[in-house]
Structure 1
C-alpha cells in the first residue's frame, strides 16, 4: 500500500505543474498547451516503444488504450474547454473539483463500510467547499449557452471518473501488463488524439510562432508532456494496480494541494486562512482514507 500511495502522491505532484504552466506563457490558450503536452507525451511513448524499450500492444490492448485515452485525456479536456467557453470558468471548475468524491464513492470496495470512509469524504467535501467560491453570472448576466456548458462540464466529469475506474479495473485484470507499457500505449493513443484536439480547437502554426514566448511554450510542452503526462501516468498506473479505486480517488486531491503550492510559490504569496484550512482538510482526508483502507 505504501508504494501505491507514494506513487499516487507523486503523480499528483506532477499533475499540479500543469496548473502553473499556463501562467508562465499567458499568450497561449489552454487548448494549445494541452495539445502540445499530449503530443509530447505521444512522442515520448513512440520513442520508448520504437527503441525497443517497451512492448507493443496487440489489437485488443490497442483498442482499450484508444478508448481510455479518449476518456482520460483528449476527450475529457476537449469537453472541458467547450464547457468553459459556454459557461465560464467557475462552474466547470466546481464540477470537475468533485472528481475525487465520485471516484471514492463509485470505487469503494465491497468489504469497506461507509462508516469507515465517511471521515475522508466529509473532509474532502469540506475542503472543496472552502476552496471554491460560489459562482455567479458576472456583470454580463447569464451566458446564452450556460446550461449547455454545465452539461458539457458534467460530461467531462463523467469521462475522467470513468477513466479512473476503468483504468484501474483494466490494470487489475491484466497483471501481465506493467505500468510503463500501459502508459506508453495510452501515450500513443493520446498523441494521435492531440492532433485532433489541435485541429478542432487549437491555433495555427503561424500564430504560435508569432508569440514572443514561443520558445518557452515549446519547453513547457516537452516538460509537461514528459513529466506531467508520461511519468505521471506511469506513477498513476502503479497506484491503480496496488490500491483500491476509492483510495486512488482520494489521492487525486494531492493534485490540488501541489497546484496550490506551486501557484503560491509563483506568486510569492501566502495562502489565505480559508485556503490553509482547506489544505488541512484535504491532508486529513487523505490520511483518513489511508487509515480506512488498511
Structure 2
C-alpha cells in the first residue's frame, strides 16, 4: 500500500510540471505543445526500447493496439485539451477542474471494478470523497478571488478554457481505468516496459502531427517562427523535460502504483498532481497561497490519508465462495 502510494506521489510531482509549460510558453499554440511534448517522449523511448528489447518483443499485437489507444487519448488529446484550457483560463481553474479526477475516478471505478479489486464500502468512502471535494472547492474559491483581483476576465475565453478542462478530465478518467486493466491483467509484465511501449506508440503520431502542423503553418504564412517558435531553446528544453519526467518517468511511476493499489484508491492519489501543480504555480507567481487555499490543501491531504486506511471488501466471487 505505502510503496504504491510513494510511486503515485512521485508521478504527481512530475505530472504537476505539465501545468507550468503552457504558462511559460503562452505564445505557443496548444497543438504544438502537445505534439512537441510527446515527440520528445517518443524520442526518449527509443534508447530505452533498445535496452528493453526482450520485454517489448513479448507484447502482442493487441497490446500494441491498446498502447496506441492509451497514447492517443491519455497523452495527445488530454494534453491538447489541458494546454488549451490553461492558456485560455489561466492556471488555477483548469488545475482545480483536473483536481476533481480523484472523485470522478473513484466513483466510476468503485462500480466498474468491484469484481476484480473488491468494493470499497460507499459509507466509508463517502467521508474521504467529501473531504477531497471540499478541499478542491476551497482552493477554487481562493483562486477565483485572486483571479477577480487581477481585473477584467474575457468570459468567452474563460468558459472555453473550462470546457477544455472538462474534456481533459474525460480523457484522464478513461486513461487510468484502461491502463490499470492492462497492468492488472498482465501482472507479470514490467511497468517500465509498458511505459516505454506507450512512448513508442506515441512517436509516429506525434511526429506526423508535428510535420502536418509545420506544413500548415508554412502554407498559411502565419508569421510564426518555424520550426520551434519564437523562443526555441526554452521550447526545446521544456519539451525535453516534459518528455522525460512528466511522460516516461511519470508514466512508469504511475504504472508501478497501478499494479499495487485498487483502481478506486489509485484514482484518488491523482490529487498529488493537483497539489504539485498548485505549488509550482505559486512558485512561478512568487507569492504564497492565501488561507483559503491552504485550508483546501489540508482537506485534500486529509482525504487521501483517510482513503489509504480503507481496505476493500473481498470481490463478490471470492466472498461467495465455490458453489456447493
Q: TM-score, normalised by structure 1?
A: 0.85
- What residue in structure 1 maps to residue 175 of structure 2? 163
Q: Which residue of 2 aligns with 1:267?
A: 285
Q: Is the 8 A contact 2:30 2:84 kept in 1?
A: no
* 1:51 to partner: Cα distance: 4.1
Distance 1:192 1:278, change over 3 A: farther
In structure 2, C-alpha distance between the alignment counterparts of 1:150 and 1:257, rounded to whole Å: 19
Gaps of 5+ in 1: none
Residue from 299, 303, 319 that aligns with 1:281: 299
Higher mean displacement: 181-190 or 72-81: 72-81
Contact 1:123 1:282 (C-alpha < 8 Å) held by counterparts = yes
Aligned length: 289
Residues 75 and 159 in structure 1, CA contact (< 8 A), matched pair in contact too = yes
Q: Deviations over 1:184-220 (max 9, x none)?
A: 1111112233235546767678435451x31122111
SS at match of 2:310: helix
- The CA RMSD measured in Å over matched residues stands at 3.0
- What does the per-residue CA deviation read over 1:154-212, in whole Å, with 9 as the maximum and x for residues that have no partner? 4432221011111111110111221001001111112233235546767678435451x
SS of the residue aligned with 2:135?
Answer: helix
User: Secondary structure of the equivalent of 1:55?
Assistant: helix
What is the distance in 2 between the residues matched to 1:80 and 1:19? 8
The alignment status of 1:76 with 2:84, answered yes or no, reads no
Q: In the alignment, which residue of structure 1 is the partner of 2:226? A: 207
Q: CA deviation at 1:142?
A: 4.5
TM-score by length of 2: 0.78
Moved more, 231-240 or 88-97: 88-97
Aligned counterparts of 2:7 and 2:38: Cα–Cα separation in 1: 21
Unaligned runs of 5+ in 2: 219-223, 313-324
Is the Cα contact below 8 Å between 1:21 and 1:220 reproduced in 2?
yes
Larger Rg: 2
CA distance in 2, matches of 1:94, 1:265: 17
Q: How far does residue 21 in structure 1 lie from its aligned partner after superposition?
A: 2.8
Q: State the alpha-carbon separation in 2 of the partners of residues 208 and 69 from structure 1.
A: 24
SS at match of 1:293: coil
Alpha-carbon distance in structure 2 between the residues aligned to 1:151 and 1:259: 19
Match of 2:274 among 252, 256, 280: 256
Aligned twin of 1:55: 56
